């Protein structure tokens, strides 16, 4: 069985979709949700779905404790779902081509440090972009720069707010993230 760990910092709607997608799969399963924010909504979602939770702080992430935990749990794939921290170099090296991220823009546009969640949608609207979208990619040692697995576009409408654009983007994410992870596991792992 391929054991997936999700790392998340926020509400956790993507984490929930991923957990549900693999819930009855004998070959692939989300076995752990790791979270760096004690107040994050993802913790309740994981709890409700019966997935074990691993809470950690930034020092533990940077100091190698998170890597040790993932290795001890025999994790085969790490899926970032709204995880707002840079993955330390050592962790990336311990899981080469085995960490996937989702970003709510058409990278390389609106990526990099500080570009996450609503900040991205605000910047896209402020720049007058006609389209935005999602990027699902492998994680390397720099923010948002690994190999792309999928990009999907959507329009930015003239009266969009950051919230309405976020809702459209979330819709794309919920459709495509579980499917991309599913096919990546089948092909690559």
Closest contact distance (angstroms) between CB of 26 and ligand GAR is 26
One of 7, 51, 87, 104 touching ligand GAR (CB under 6 A) = 104
Nearest CA to 174 out of 22, 29, 17, 20 is that of 17
Q: Considering the rule CB under 6 A, would residue 102 count as an interface residue with ligand GAR?
A: yes
Cα–Cα distance, 129 to 175 (Å, whole number): 23
Radius of gyration of the chain (CA): 16
3 closest CA partner among 23, 29, 24: 29
Site string for ligand GAR, 109-148 (x = CB under 6 A): -------xx--x----------------------------
Q: What does the per-residue mask of binding to ligand GAR show for 3-22, with x meaning CB under 6 A?
A: -----x-xxxxxx-------
- List C-alpha distances in Å: 16 to 105, 110, 144, 170, 171: 21, 25, 22, 12, 13
Q: What does the alpha-carbon distance between residue 153 and residue 166 come to, in Å, rounded to a whole number?
A: 13
Query: Residue 103 catalytic?
Result: yes
Q: Within 170-189, which residues bind ligand GAR (CB under 6 A)? A: 170, 173
Binding mask 19-48 for ligand GAR (x = CB under 6 A): ------------------------------
Q: Is 180 helix (H, G, I), strand (E, B) or coil?
A: helix
Binding-site residue total for ligand GAR (CB under 6 A)? Answer: 18
Query: Per the residue annotation, which of 21, 103, 148, 176 is the catalytic one?
Result: 103
| Strands laid side by side in the 148-155 sheet | 53-55, 28-35, 2-8, 77-80, 99-103, 131-138, 148-155
Binding site for ligand GAR (CB under 6 A): 8, 10-15, 81-82, 102-104, 116-117, 120, 169-170, 173
What residues are annotated to the active site? 103
């Amino acid at each position: 069985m391929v054991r997936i760990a999700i790392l998340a910092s926020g509400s956790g709607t993507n984490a929930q979709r991923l957990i549900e997608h693999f819930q009855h799969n004998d070959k692939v399963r989300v076995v752990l949700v790791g979270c760096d924010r004690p107040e994050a909504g993802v913790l309740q979602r994981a709890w409700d779905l019966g997935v074990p939770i691993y809470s950690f702080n930034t020092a533990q992430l940077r100091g190698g404790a998170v890597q040790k935990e993932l290795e001890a749990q025999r994790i085969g794939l790490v899926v970032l779902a709204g995880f707002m921290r840079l993955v330390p170099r050592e962790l990336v090296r311990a899981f080469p081509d085995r960490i996937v991220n989702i970003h709510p823009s058409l990278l390389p546009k609106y990526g990099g440090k500080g570009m996450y969640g609503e900040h991205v949608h605000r910047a896209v609207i402020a720049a007058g972009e006609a389209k935005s979208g999602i990027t699902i990619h492998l994680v390397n040692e720099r923010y948002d720069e690994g190999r792309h697995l999928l990009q999907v576009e959507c329009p930015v409408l003239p009266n969009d707010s950051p919230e309405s654009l976020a809702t459209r983007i979330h819709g794309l994410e919920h459709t495509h993230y579980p499917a991309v992870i599913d096919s990546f596991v089948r092909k690559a792992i």
